[in-house]
Amino acid sequence: MKSMIDRFIKYAKIHTTSDEDSTTFPSTDRQKNLGKIIVEDLKSIGVEEVSMDDKGYVYAFVPANTEKLCNTIGFIAHMDTSPAASGENVNPKIHENYNGEDIILNEEQSIILSPKEFPFLKEKIGKTLITTDGTTLLGADDKAGITEIIEAIDYIIKHPEIEHGPISIGFTPDEEVGKGADYFDVKKFNAHFAYTIDGGHLGELEYENFNAASANVVIKGKSVHPGSAKDILINATTVAMEFHSLLPSDEVPEKTDGYDGFYMITDFRGEVESATLKYIIRDFDLENLQRRKDLLINIADRINERYKSKLVEVEIHDQYYNMKKIIEPVMYVMDLAKKSMEEAGVTPNIVPIRGGTDGARLSYMGLPTPNIFTGGANFHGIYEHIAVEDMIKAKETIINIIKNNAISHDKIG
C-alpha cells in the first residue's frame, strides 16, 4: 500500500493540465515533465526498453519470459489532467479507515466531501481515501492508472516465476482535450490488443462509449441605433438564445444517463453584431448522432429562412466513435478482463462510458482497447477522490490479465 500511495502522490503533485485552446502538441509542455519522471521510474524497476518521443508519448516494452506463443498485450493511461479544474499545487490528503461521515476538505472555505451528496462514499467505509484539499482536482484521472500499471509491472519483473508474453506500455498526453491518440504510434506499440486503465469505480469494465461530435454555431447580427431599430436591427445574441431554445430541453447531460444521448452547450459569447455557441453532441447510436447533427443544421436553416438571410452558420466535426463495433468481433479481450477481475475478488460491472477514452480512437486505429477501472470518483473537480484498496485491486487485475494471457489458447493476432 505504501508504494502505491507514494507513487500516486508523487505523480499527482506534478502539474500536467492540458489546454484545449492550444495549437501545439502536446498542448502544454509541462506534461513532458511527468513523462520524463515516468521514463526514469520505469527504468528504475527494471524496464530496459523505455523512451519518450518528441510529442510527449512514453513507450515501454517488457519482453516475454516464455517460449509460448502469446498475444502481445498493452496497457495505456494518460498523463494530462482536465482543464475543468486547477491541476496546479495539488495537495492530496490521506484519510485512513474512512468512517463513512463527512470529510472536511477545506475548513477555511467550508468545502466538504459528504456521503449525503455522494452516497457511494458509504461503499468506502474502512478504506484509505486520498482526496483533494478542496482547491484543485486530484489527478486520479489518470495518474491512478499510470500508478497502477507501473506497480503491476514492478510486481511482474520482481516475480520472474510468473510466465508472461510480451507487454507494451503507453502513456499519452492530451487525452482530456480529445487528442490523446493523435500521434500514438500503433505500429511501434505493436500490441494485439490493449486496455486503457482510465475508468472510475471499482469493477467498471467498458467497451461501449459515445459517438461524439462538436458543433460551432456562428451568428451574424445587424447593429443600428436602438432608437431607430424597428424592423432593421438583428441582435445576434437574441438569435443565439432562440437557436438554443429550439433544442430539446430534456436532452442535456444533467437530465440523461445510461444510453441516453445529449446536446451540451460548452460556450456562449454574444454581442449585437455577432454571437457564437459551442456544443458537444453525444449518442451511443451512430444514426441518432446523425439525427442530432441534422437538427442543428435544420434549426439554422429555419432561422435563416425566417430572416431571409444567412445569419446562422453551423460547423460540425466528428470527434470519435463507439468502439463497440471494433470490440465485439474480439470479445476475448473482454472475457480476459472479466476473468482477471473475478480472480482479484472484483465483480465486473460492464457499463457504457458516457464519454470517450484514448481507447475509443485507438480501437479504430487497429488496436482494440476496452477500458478498466482505476477506483477513482468525481473526476475533473475538487471532490475527486480514490480508495487505495481499489487501486490495489486494479493492480491485481492487471497482473491477472498478464498471467491469464500467457496461459490462454485464445489468440487474436
Write out pLDDT tens, residues 121-174. 999 999 999 999 999 999 999 999 999 999 999 999 999 999 999 999 999 999
Report if residue 103 sits inside a domain: yes
Residues 241 and 286 in one domain: yes
Report if residue 311 sits inside a domain: yes
Residues 190 and 78 in one domain: yes
Report if residue 370 sits inside a domain: yes
Q: Are 16 and 33 in contact (CB under 8 A)?
A: yes
Residues 202 and 290 in one domain: no
Residues 346 and 315 in one domain: no
What's the pLDDT score for residue 13?
Answer: 98
Report if residue 99 sits inside a domain: yes
Residues 154, 47: Cα–Cα separation, whole Å: 9
Residues 13 and 139 in one domain: yes
| Tens digits of residue pLDDT in 257-315 | 999 999 999 999 999 999 999 999 999 999 999 999 999 999 999 999 999 999 999 99
**Containing domain of residue 275, as a range?**
211-319
User: What's the domain count of the chain?
Assistant: 2
Residues 25 and 37 in one domain: yes
Sign of CA dihedral 195, 199, 205, 209: negative
Residues 358 and 301 in one domain: no
Q: Hey, what's the cell of 304? A: 435563416
| Tens digits of residue pLDDT in 201-255 | 999 999 999 999 999 999 999 998 999 999 999 999 999 999 999 999 999 999 9
Last residue of a domain, one of 319, 348, 372: 319
Report if residue 412 sits inside a domain: no
- Residue 88 pLDDT class (50, 70, 90 cuts): very high
Q: Are 71 and 367 in contact (CB under 8 A)?
A: no
What's the pLDDT score for residue 410?
Answer: 57
Q: Which DSSP helix (H) or strand (E) runs through 31?
A: helix 31-44
- Residue 356 pLDDT class (50, 70, 90 cuts): confident
The CATH code of the domain that includes 23 is 3.40.630.10
Last residue of a domain, one of 278, 302, 319: 319
162: helix, coil or strand? Answer: coil
pTM metric for this prediction: 0.91
Report if residue 41 sits inside a domain: yes
Beta-strand pair 349-350/274-283: unpaired
Residues 310 and 331 in one domain: no
Report if residue 13 sits inside a domain: yes
Residues 403 and 336 in one domain: yes
| Tens digits of residue pLDDT in 279-288 | 999 999 999 9
Last residue of a domain, one of 319, 342, 364: 319
274: helix, coil or strand? Answer: strand
Catalytic sites, residue numbers = 80, 175
Residue 355 predicted with pLDDT over 90:
no
The CATH code of the domain that includes 216 is 3.30.70.360
Residue 92 predicted with pLDDT over 70:
yes
**Strands of 200-347, DSSP E:** 204-206, 211-220, 262-270, 274-283, 312-320
Report if residue 413 sits inside a domain: no
Residues 147 and 270 in one domain: no
What's the pLDDT score for residue 357?
Answer: 87
Residues 119 and 152 in one domain: yes
Residues 314 and 328 in one domain: no
